[in-house]
Amino acid sequence: MATTDVSGANGKISEQLDAVVIRFCGDSGDGMQLAGTQFTNVSAVFGNDVSTLPDFPAEIRAPAGTLGGVSGFQICFSSSDIYTPGDEVDTLVAMNPAALKTNVADLKRGGTLIVNEDAFEKSNLSKAGYESNPLDDEESLAAYQVQKVPMTSLTRDAVAELGLSPREAERCKNFFAMGLVYWLYQRDATPTEEWVKSKFAKKPELVEANLKALHAGYNFGITTEAMTVHYRVDPAELPPGKYRKVTGNEAIAFGFVTAATLAGKKLFYGGYPITPASDILHELSKLKNFNVVTFQAEDEIAAITSVVGASYAGDLAITASSGPGIALKGEGMGLGAIMELPMVIVDVQRGGPSTGLPTKTEQSDLYMCMFGRNGDCPLPLVAPASPADCFHMAQEAMRIAVEFMTPVMLLSDGYIANGAEPWQIPEMSSLKPIKVSHENRQKDGEQFMPYLRDEKKARPWVVPGTPGCEHRVGGLEKSDVTGNVDYSPQNHQYMTTLRANKIAGIADFIPEQEVEGPESGDLLVISWGGTYGAVRTAVKHSIKEGLSVAHAHLRYLNPFPKNLGDVIKNYKKVLIPELNTGQLRMIIRGTYLADAVGLNKVQGKPFLISEVKQKIREVIEDK
């Protein structure tokens, strides 16, 4: 729905749009992540709803100009609420031939294609595998509104008087591109200008150069005759409140710091760097004044075992990793489970197996997290639905860990971790406290019983240093109440069941499953984790189109919400879209004997709304 009026500078046409998808792409050294992030910021500050999808190459510096080195950042901004960074791209900014080649297929017909014309020279063209310059070939790009802009030389001219080296000068071309796109979408550049000033506070020449490039790009939009239309996307009507933008990894860090602050406890983070989980370590490392201790361990095994030690000693302890690292942590998690100590293990999933697709998203660690420990060793599993939801689910994970004295797994994924969306800054009074009680009774002559249980079947948590409660824990099977080592057959059966029942009992303390859409009907779509946005939008559209379909998004994966089995029975069919080959589907089928069908994609990419919609229709119509 676009309305048109003639306004703005030079009498150019201003068209109003509801939602726009922009993608910046270029070489990994071109500063495309920065351009995307800044564009997101100015759009968020303007009041649009935003959703982003950064896309990194696996190599830090693949050879410049090659297809493998292309880095992209997609953002959807809108005047109504949105849940995904969008299917098709409206405006594509391609800084070189390789970026054009790898991204142009996602540009919608009639969309705007802005290219850095200077970069389309012989060597770049051949590195990208073009035999001739696609910009000279009217036909291949005929479906798009192509804007050939010599960004490198225009940037060089704009900063000429500053006396920078040619390399430094050319580096500013991402700001030129940003400026042009800011003009195209009528963005106020002030937040970016402020950012540049503080970022390069110690290098005034770079402040000036980047601002000059930014303004040059903007002014180019005003003056060039090639661009006649620019667009307006009004602010979205989000619930009133104060907002900021968060990525999933930031929100997880905030969530844990909040949990620790609310509990009045020290937060201990033991971790080993791995993409895409490292940012959690980075964020928490900055927050030492919140009584946060971060420990960069020598490997993931040391990370989880240090967390076991810290938890034993009384800290709220967490670790985060991604697939390969979680695989290494299995034995340590089992130790935490048999010792019944609280801790949270975050898995920011990426494409596997092994090193797999380290910078791409996937949901294929569900089996590993559900089952990947030796022995019968169920652990609670929760999964945030979106970047902002990480704040809440991190606290939920910690609450469950502490109340039930157990390790808890939090399943995020690369899409949530790096993606960003507006987050309504919570009122402090609305935060749910986390209560921690440490056993400290000095019982006269009576021996302390480390495996005595409360009504939730949780055992007491004692901080070493507490007189009279000295006790030993360990990985050997133990008898209940006393905690003494006991290998007897009956005892092992008893303790295995008891631990499983304790975890299953958590279902009584988590919210029941809610459904979006009709309470019964033809189809229930069940999703979990980062596919929330695409599935939610697809179901909404399908309902609008008259289909009888509802959506249940699971944030609690073990145990499942108590009513899930009943919910499933209300629909004729069940569809489970996942970015794996059907892991939740297998578990749902096994648990509820429901004949669920799957929509499964393992390409390192999130679902498109259109893919999910199409499958919904197929499943319903195939009656």
Partner 1 sequence: MSVDTSLPVLSPKDFASDQEIRWCPRCGDYSILAQMKKVLPTLGIPKEKFVFVSGIGCSSRFPYYMDTYGMHSIHGRAPAVATGVKLANPDLQVWVITGDGDSLSIGGNHFMHVLRRNVDVKVILFNNQIYGLTKGQYSPTSPTGTKTKSTPFGSVDRPLNPLSVAIGARATFAARSVDVDIKHLCNVLERAANHKGTAFVEVYQDCNVFNSGAFAFASKKGEKEENVIYLEHGKPLIFGKDRDKGIRLNSHDQPEVVELGKGVTEDDLLFHDEKSEDMNLAFLLASMRYPEMPEPMGVFRCVEHPTYNEAVYDQVKSATERNGEGDLEALFNTGDTWTV
Site for partner 1 in 251-310 (CB under 8 A): 254, 257-258, 261, 266, 268, 270, 287-293, 295, 297-299, 301-303, 305-310
Cβ distance 14 to 183 under 8 Å?
Answer: no
Q: Does 313 bind partner 1 (CB under 8 A)?
A: yes
Rounded Cα distance between 411 and 584, Å, is 13
User: Which residue, 50 or 619, has its beta carbon nearer to partner 1?
Assistant: 50
Q: Which of 160, 226, 229, 463 binds partner 1 (CB under 8 A)?
A: 463
The candidate with the shortest Cα–Cα distance to 508, out of 580, 452, 560, 557, is 560
Residues in region 525-584 near partner 1 by CB under 8 A: none
Within its chain, how far is the Cα of 386 from the centroid?
6
Using the rule CB under 8 A, give the single segment among 104-112, 235-243, 577-585, 614-622 that binds partner 1. Answer: 235-243
Give the length of the chain.
623
User: Which residue, 45 or 393, has its beta carbon nearer to partner 1?
Assistant: 45
Q: Which two tokens stand for residue 197?
A: 């000033």
User: Which residue, 109 or 242, has its beta carbon nearer to partner 1?
Assistant: 242
Closest distance between partner 1 and the C-beta of residue 342, in Å? 13
User: Which residue, 232 or 617, has its beta carbon nearer to partner 1?
Assistant: 232
Closest distance between partner 1 and the C-beta of residue 405, in Å? 15
DSSP state of 601: -
Residues in region 26-55 near partner 1 by CB under 8 A: 41, 44-47
End-to-end CA gap in the chain:
35
Q: Does 346 bind partner 1 (CB under 8 A)?
A: no
User: Which residue, 181 or 366, has its beta carbon nearer to partner 1?
Assistant: 181
Q: Does 245 bind partner 1 (CB under 8 A)?
A: yes
- Amino acid letter, residue 416: I
Q: Does 109 bind partner 1 (CB under 8 A)?
A: no
Site map for partner 1, 358-387, x if CB under 8 A? ------------------------------
Cβ distance 531 to 622 under 8 Å?
Answer: no
Cβ distance 101 to 130 under 8 Å?
Answer: yes
User: Which residue, 206 or 308, has its beta carbon nearer to partner 1?
Assistant: 308
User: Which residue, 69 or 332, has its beta carbon nearer to partner 1?
Assistant: 332
Q: Which of 110, 239, 489, 546 binds partner 1 (CB under 8 A)?
A: 239
Within its chain, how far is the Cα of 78 from the centroid?
19
Rounded Cα distance between 47 and 42, Å, is 9
Q: 3-state secondary structure string, 535-550?
A: HHHHHHHHHHCCCCEE
Using the rule CB under 8 A, give the single segment among 241-249, 360-368, 579-587, 601-609 that binds partner 1. Answer: 241-249
The candidate with the shortest Cα–Cα distance to 450, out of 466, 434, 436, is 466
| Close Cβ partners of 338 (under 8 Å, ≥ 6 residues apart) | 377, 475, 477, 478, 499
User: Which residue, 159 or 402, has its beta carbon nearer to partner 1?
Assistant: 402
> What is the total count of residues that contact partner 1 (CB under 8 A)?
72
The candidate with the shortest Cα–Cα distance to 473, out of 301, 308, 304, 265, is 308
The candidate with the shortest Cα–Cα distance to 575, out of 558, 593, 600, is 600
Closest distance between partner 1 and the C-beta of residue 191, in Å? 5
Q: Does 240 bind partner 1 (CB under 8 A)?
A: yes
Closest distance between partner 1 and the C-beta of residue 333, in Å? 10
The candidate with the shortest Cα–Cα distance to 333, out of 298, 363, 365, 303, is 303
The candidate with the shortest Cα–Cα distance to 596, out of 567, 573, 579, is 573
Closest distance between partner 1 and the C-beta of residue 369, in Å? 19
Residues in region 165-194 near partner 1 by CB under 8 A: 191
Q: Which of 11, 166, 467, 546 binds partner 1 (CB under 8 A)?
A: 467
Closest distance between partner 1 and the C-beta of residue 258, in Å? 6
Q: Which two tokens stand for residue 538?
A: 């697809």
Neighbours of 325 (CB within 10 A): 23
Q: Does 471 bind partner 1 (CB under 8 A)?
A: yes
User: Which residue, 331 or 514, has its beta carbon nearer to partner 1?
Assistant: 331
Q: How far is CA 147 from CA 8, 117, 227, in A?
A: 20, 9, 8
Closest distance between partner 1 and the C-beta of residue 220, in Å? 26
519 burial type by CB count under 10 A (0-12 exposed, 13-18 middle, 19+ buried): exposed
Closest distance between partner 1 and the C-beta of residue 565, in Å? 37
Q: Which two tokens stand for residue 434?
A: 């986390």
Rounded Cα distance between 401 and 409, Å, is 9
Rounded Cα distance between 499 and 517, Å, is 36
Cβ distance 370 to 382 under 8 Å?
Answer: no
Q: Which of 18, 136, 205, 331 binds partner 1 (CB under 8 A)?
A: 331
Q: Which of 397, 473, 535, 574 binds partner 1 (CB under 8 A)?
A: 473
The candidate with the shortest Cα–Cα distance to 50, out of 18, 88, 78, is 78
User: Which residue, 244 or 282, has its beta carbon nearer to partner 1?
Assistant: 244
User: Which residue, 417 or 564, has its beta carbon nearer to partner 1?
Assistant: 417
User: Which residue, 257 or 543, has its beta carbon nearer to partner 1?
Assistant: 257
Residues in region 391-430 near partner 1 by CB under 8 A: 425-426, 428
Site map for partner 1, 188-227, x if CB under 8 A? ---x------------------------------------
User: Which residue, 299 or 595, has its beta carbon nearer to partner 1?
Assistant: 299
Rounded Cα distance between 153 and 542, Å, is 48
Using the rule CB under 8 A, give the single segment among 65-73, 162-170, 223-231, 468-476 that binds partner 1. Answer: 468-476
Q: Does 9 bind partner 1 (CB under 8 A)?
A: no
The number of C-alpha atoms within 13 Å of 158 and in the hemisphere containing its C-beta is: 30
The dihedral sign for the CA sequence 373, 375, 379, 383: positive
User: Which residue, 144 or 423, has its beta carbon nearer to partner 1?
Assistant: 423
Q: Which of 485, 501, 512, 514 binds partner 1 (CB under 8 A)?
A: 485
